[in-house]
């Protein structure tokens, strides 16, 4: 930095051959006035005369009062200083970045500004997934991307009526009577008894079954009238 003095006073020189006390007093009084003038004008000269003589790395930018809380930072792309505004984009690189965070496994604060810790996020997600059953059956369509969800869809003879979210779905059979069949404990054929309008098990032996049609194809070998009642 450099400054120039515009008001440098002329200090009186002591006259030669001073012998009287009065002469010495007059000289000291004059010198005192000159010193007072010098020190009174010195701040003004310094304030008005200081100038920056060397600033090689950063631009000299005048920033007006932003009337809000701001951070001064160097915009390297624009080559100027500017104010950093909240919620603006700024790339920060480095090893450590200190920010406000919250460590809550249940995320009860529901903060819009605090960052959760990794442990909090994992604990919260684990707790939420733990409340879901192993198998989630959904009628008509998927409601989310959970891996355990299963979709039930309607098919031939089977109808689905979806009552909406949280409601009970209705499953109906339009081709066969809906009947609970216990295990027969033997080789059986499942068939529909139209006379009784019910589903039944057909036993290979000792069961009468009426078959009507134009053509009946059977295996020729081993068929005789001891196994077939040909009627009259």
Q: What is the pLDDT of residues 96-150, one digit of tens each?
A: 767 788 899 988 888 888 889 999 999 988 887 766 555 455 555 555 555 555 6
Domain contains 147:
no
Q: What are phi and psi of 38, to 5 degrees?
A: -60, -50
Is the separation of the CB atoms in 34 and 73 below 8 Å? no
Coil, strand or helix at 119: helix
Of the residues 102, 131, 160, the one at which a domain ends: 131
Question: pLDDT value at position 120?
Answer: 92
Same domain, 41 and 74: no
Examine the domain organization and report whether 61 and 112 are in the same domain: yes
**pLDDT at res. 118:** 92
- pLDDT mean across residues, the chain: 69
Residue 4 lies in a domain: yes
Q: Which two tokens stand for residue 148?
A: 């355990």
Bigger pLDDT: 183 or 155? 183
Same domain, 100 and 49: no
Count of domains for the chain: 2
Please check whether residue 84 lies inside any domain of the structure.
yes
Do 127 and 61 share a structural domain?
A: yes
Place of tokens 């078959």: 211
Residue 34 and residue 74 in one domain = no
CA 104 to CA 205: how far, in whole Å? 70
Of the chain, the percentage scoring pLDDT greater than 70 comes to 49
**What is the structure's pLDDT at 227?**
54
Q: The domain containing residue 42 runs over which residues?
A: 1-54
> Does a structural domain hold residue 41?
yes
pLDDT of residue 89: 73
Q: What is the largest CA-CA distance in the chain?
A: 177
The confidence score (pLDDT) of residue 121 equals: 92
Single out the residue in 37, 54, 71 at which a domain terminates: 54
Point out the domain boundary residue: 99, 131, 163: 131
CA 34/CA 10 separation, integer angstroms: 7
Top pLDDT among 73 and 173 is at 73
- Regarding whether 62 and 80 lie in a shared domain, the answer is yes
pLDDT tens-digit readout, 6-54: 555 566 666 666 667 777 777 778 777 777 777 776 666 565 555 555 5
Residues 40 and 82 in one domain: no
**How far apart (Å, rounded) are the C-alpha atoms in residues 145 and 140?**
15
Check residues 146 and 194 and name the one with the higher pLDDT. 194
Return the higher-pLDDT residue of 39 and 55.
Answer: 39
Please give the DSSP secondary-structure letter assigned to residue 60: -
The whole-model pTM stands at 0.27
Q: Would residue 45 count as lying in a domain? A: yes
Tell me the pLDDT band of 58, cut-offs 50, 70 and 90.
Answer: low
């Amino acid at each position: 930095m450099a400054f120039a003095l515009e008001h440098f006073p002329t200090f009186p020189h002591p006259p030669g051959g001073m012998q009287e006390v009065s002469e010495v007093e007059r000289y000291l009084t004059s010198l005192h006035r000159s010193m007072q003038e010098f020190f009174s004008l010195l701040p003004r000269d310094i304030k008005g005369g200081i100038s920056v003589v060397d600033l090689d790395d950063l631009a000299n930018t005048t920033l007006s009062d932003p009337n809000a809380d701001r951070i001064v930072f160097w915009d390297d792309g624009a080559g100027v200083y500017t104010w950093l505004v909240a919620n603006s984009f700024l790339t920060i690189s480095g090893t450590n970045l200190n920010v406000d965070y919250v460590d809550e496994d249940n995320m009860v604060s529901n903060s819009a500004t605090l960052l959760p810790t990794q442990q909090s996020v994992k604990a919260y997600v684990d707790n939420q997934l733990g409340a879901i059953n192993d198998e989630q059956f959904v009628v008509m369509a998927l409601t989310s991307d959970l891996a355990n969800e299963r979709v039930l869809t309607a098919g031939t003879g089977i109808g689905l009526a979806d009552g909406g979210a949280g409601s009970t779905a209705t499953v109906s059979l339009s081709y066969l009577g809906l009947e609970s069949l216990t295990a027969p404990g033997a080789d059986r054929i499942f068939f529909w008894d139209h006379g009784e309008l019910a589903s039944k098990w057909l036993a290979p032996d000792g069961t009468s079954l009426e078959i009507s049609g134009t053509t009946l194809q059977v295996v020729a070998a081993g068929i005789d009238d001891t196994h077939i009642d040909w009627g009259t």
